[in-house]
A and B are shown apart, each in its own frame.
Chain A
Amino acid sequence: MNILMTFIQKAIAQGVAILFGATGETLTEKSGNLNLGIPGIMYMGGIAGLMGAFFYENHTTDPIPLAGMLISLLCTLVAASIGGLIYSFLTITLRANQNVVGLALTTFGVGFGNFFGGSISKLAGGVGQISVATTAKAYRASFPVLSKIPVLGQLLFTYGFLTYLSVIIAVIVTFMLLRTRVGLNLRAVGESPATADAAGIHVSLYKYVATVCGAAIAGLGGLYYVMEYLGGTWSNNSFGDRGWLAIALVILATWNPVHAIWGSLVFGGLYILDIYIPGLSRAGKELVKMLPYVVTIIVLIITSKRSKLENQPPASLGNSYFREER
């Protein structure tokens, strides 16, 4: 029972970053942009938040946790949005191939994260290992009383605020997509930009806003990982492939962020399963670590046979739009 509890808690902890990424990517894909740069953007978001907090804590003698939190949050949102903006400018305005731009952005973003993660202390004058304990503590603060309730409290209330934010954003984005005018228009842009255009919707604006907001949301995933999961430090490449799993989760969740909430839990669980299966050899653990990817592949194969039209990707996903194209 105790192990199961820990397992679920850890699975949630693993899933949050993926959920942020998946929600952001869903929003982006609904506008017809397949942003393969999300993994890079998550790196950028993570390192920017860390750097913001780091410079703040290093330059004040008595850092206030809340201020560090706000600064890092702001830095993350700005850095991730810039990533989204680069992608948008190249694919929407300059109509470059989305996959190529996405991959380049991921190369850039991962390099960006690892470079500054590895060099920041040097750049700041050699203060050794970067650590933003004060800010991270603020991110890790959980509900004071509720988290002490046995089982239910432990299961639901022991996380930092970003965990709850990830769920709230997923719900809001879903509501926005399905129940609001903006959401309706956005879906139209992703399905058929020519139709949306003829209906008087500003296609490029919608694509820009959705892609940049999507990037910002995904960036929070990086921030979560750095602050709450790692506790305010950086370790090169340790964020790994969570960004790619986020993109895979979009498909698993059939472009619905609420479904992604459950999906992220599954991915999170698979991610750490090897630790919780008793009696595994070292080699066996390595094989179990394949599971998230193998499961994604199986899901891909199953969804490719699913014929319901509503569960398919947005019809214009991956294409750029030019009104006067003949």
Chain B
Amino acid sequence: MSKVHTVSSKEPLFHMIKRDGISAGKAWAIRLIAVVLSLIVCAVVIVAITHQNPLEVYAGIISGAVGTKRRIWVTIRETLLLLLVAIGLTPAFRMRFWNIGAEGQILLGGIASAGLMIAFGNVLPGWLLLLLILVASMIAGMIWGLIPAIFKATFNTNETLFTLMLNYVAMQLVTFCIVYWEKPAGSNTVGIINGDSKAGWFPALFGSDYGLSVILVLAVTLLVHIYMKYSKQGYEINVVGESQNTARYAGINVTAVIIRTMMISGAICGLAGAVVVSGASHTISTSTAGGRGFTAIIVAWMSKFHPGAMILVSLFLVFMQQGSIQIASQFGLNENASDIITGILLFFLIGCEFFIRYQLEFRKKKQEKEVQA
């Protein structure tokens, strides 16, 4: 053994090692670093476009998100909606069912709400109409979730593209309905439904128009959390998601679980449709879902389906979105700026997970060690 010089220049600079585990504190520290980095990049982008002092930009964002009471409520409302959809997607994604059809399920819920508001606005008592809206929107979303589930469960049809295509079918359904619900005629929009009577609108609660939405979303969040964590059905969903083979071995009826779970997932997304239409916009259009179905997937995934994390992530994204919309309108730019900001934030948040799962080991350390040896 003449020499122990093994590390040639060909060896990679560093290599990656899967971590055995990481403390929660360290994981959150990594995420925090990612958030800070993403905020810096966002600032650079905004400054490049608006040529503004970055500090003023951030002041603008904060003011845009929480500057007035109305803005605070809009931020809360949007956070809740995103949260509700993410919660709705949770059972499906836990089952590894790639439901990217939340947009469509929301729209179907919205169609049901709008339809009932138009049809029974002056007929039924308010509370009954509202109840009907909630139930019908859930059923509508449920059906939209059920269709791909049946094909997935029986033919193993790819659910990602199936649910995606259903989004566009749902959009065409909306335009189809608009033909009949158009008001005023020729506008190609539905306008505010029941603007005078407010029939079918969510009533104000605790002095806010969005009080009922808050209660509803938090209740659903809690229920889904308990369902997933403690119920027998929730356990089945987890087993099916991890391994269908194990599920069959355990005597779980996989077909039934897939169908049942997608019905739940679809129903909650449908409910989100009612929360948008009856609770906030009081109208319907193809943009009623507004991309929340997609963003919510990322929210749910990055939060690893923990409801608390979902609230934080939703709040963070919505805060930045609302803020950047404000900045954009200040400068007469268009509000799609918020999508760019969202994209950048997501890239960083997604990317940082790598550093939680893996650690890098650099060559330098080892070389020194061997020289000494």
Direct contact of A and B (CB under 8 A): yes
Residues in A lying within 8 Å of B, measured CB to CB = 36, 86, 89-90, 93-97, 99-101, 103-112, 114-115, 118-119, 122-123, 236, 241, 244, 247-248, 251, 282-283, 286-287, 289-290, 292-294, 296-297, 300-301, 304-305, 322, 324-325
Which chain B positions have C-beta within 8 A of A90?
A: 347, 350-351
List chain A residues, Cβ under 8 A from B346: 104, 107-108
Interface: B52 (CB within 8 A): no
- Cβ of B158 under 8 Å from chain A: yes
User: Which B residue sits closest to A93, measured CB to CB?
Assistant: B354
Task: Name, among A95, A103, A114, A118, the residue most crowded by chain B CB atoms within 10 Å (CB to CB).
Answer: A103
Confirm or deny: B215 has a beta carbon within 8 angstroms of a beta carbon on chain A.
Answer: no
Cβ-defined contact, A115 with B337, below 8 A: yes
Partner of B165, one of A93, A108, A111, A248: A248
Q: Judge if B175 is at the interface, Cβ distance under 8 Å.
A: yes
Chain A contacts for B353, CB-based, 8 A: 94, 96
Is B333's CB under 8 angstroms from A286's CB? no
Residues in A whose Cβ lies below 8 Å from that of B350: 90, 94, 96-97, 100-101, 104
Docked pose: A93 CA to B15 CA in angstroms:
12
Q: How far is the CA of A111 from the CA of B151 in the complex (A)?
A: 33
Q: Point out the residues of chain B lying under 8 angstroms from A115, CB to CB.
A: 328, 333-334, 336-337, 339-340
Provide 15 A-B residue pairs closer than 8 Å at the C-beta atoms, listed in order of the A residue: A90-B351, A94-B350, A96-B350, A97-B301, A103-B100, A104-B343, A108-B347, A111-B343, A112-B343, A115-B339, A290-B173, A293-B168, A293-B172, A304-B157, A322-B16
Q: Which residues of A contact B156 (CB under 8 A)?
A: 304
**Closest chain B residue, CB of each to CB of A282:** B179
> Is residue B295 contacting chain A, with contact meaning CB distance below 8 A?
yes
Within 8 A of A (CB), among B153-197: 155-158, 160-162, 164-166, 168-169, 172-173, 175-176, 179-180
User: Among the interface residues A115, A122, A236, A241, which one has the most CB atoms of the partner chain B within 10 A?
Assistant: A115
Hey, which chain A residues are within 8 Å of B175, CB to CB?
A: 286, 289
Would B161 and A108 count as touching, CB distance under 8 A?
no
Contacts A36-B160, A287-B172 given; 8 further ones with Cβ under 8 A? Answer: A93-B354, A100-B302, A103-B298, A106-B294, A108-B340, A118-B336, A301-B151, A301-B155
Q: Which of B49, B161, B358 contacts A251 (CB 8 A)?
A: B161
Given contacts A104-B346, A115-B339, A286 and B179 within 8 Å (CB-CB): yes
**A241 to chain B: which residues have CB within 8 Å?**
168
Does residue B67 face the partner (Cβ distance < 8 Å to A)? no
- Number of interchain pairs (Cβ within 8 Å): 160
Residue B338 at the chain A interface, CB threshold 8 Å: yes
Top 9 closest A-B pairs, CB basis?
Answer: A111-B339, A108-B343, A118-B334, A94-B354, A114-B336, A104-B346, A304-B157, A115-B336, A286-B176
Q: Does B62 contact A (CB under 8 A)?
A: no
A267 to chain B, nearest CB (A): 12
Contact B333 A123 (CB under 8 A): yes
Question: In the assembled complex, which residues on chain A have CB atoms less than 8 Å from the CB atom of B333?
Answer: 115, 118-119, 122-123
Contact in complex: B334, A114 (CB < 8 Å): yes
* Residue B18 CB within 8 A of the other chain: yes
CA of A289 to CA of B176, assembled, Å: 10
Q: Which residues of A contact B25 (CB under 8 A)?
A: none
Residue among A86, A97, A99, A300 with most chain B CB within 10 A: A300
A112–B340 CB distance below 8 A? yes
Q: Judge whether B49 and A123 touch: CB under 8 Å.
A: yes
Flag if A94 contacts B343 (CB, 8 Å).
no
Q: Do the beta carbons of B155 and A305 come within 8 Å of each other?
A: yes
Give min CB distance, B45 to chain A, whole Å.
Answer: 10
Total contacting residues, chain B, CB less than 8 A:
54
A100 touches B298 (CB 8 A): yes
Contact between B297 and A110, CB atoms less than 8 A apart: no
- Asked if B27 lies at the interface with its beta carbon under 8 angstroms from chain A, I say no
A134 to chain B, nearest CB (A): 26
Contact A100 B344 (CB under 8 A): no
Question: In the docked arrangement, what's the CA distance between A115 and B339, Å?
Answer: 8
Q: Closest A residue to B100 by CB, please name it.
A: A103
Contact indicator A286/B172 (Cβ below 8 Å): yes
Q: Is the CB of B354 within 8 A of A95?
A: yes
| Alpha-carbon distance A122/B337, docked complex (angstroms) | 14
User: CB-defined interface of B344-370 with A at 8 Å, one 1/0 digit per residue?
Assistant: 101100110110011000000000000
Q: Are B347 and A104 in contact, with the CB atoms below 8 A?
A: yes
**CA gap between A164 and B165 in the complex, in Å:** 28
Q: Using Cβ atoms and an 8 Å threshold, which residues of chain A touch B179? A: 282-283, 286
Instruction: Give every chain A residue within 8 A of B337 (Cβ-Cβ).
Output: 111, 115, 119
**Residues in chain B near residue A112, CB distance under 8 A:** 336, 339-340, 343
Tell me the complex Cα distance, A23–B337, Å: 30
Whether the Cβ atoms of B340 and A104 lie closer than 8 Å is no
Q: Are A107 and B295 in contact (CB under 8 A)?
A: yes
Query: Are B155 and A104 touching (Cβ within 8 A)?
Result: no
Whether the pair A108, B344 counts as a contact (CB closer than 8 A) is: yes
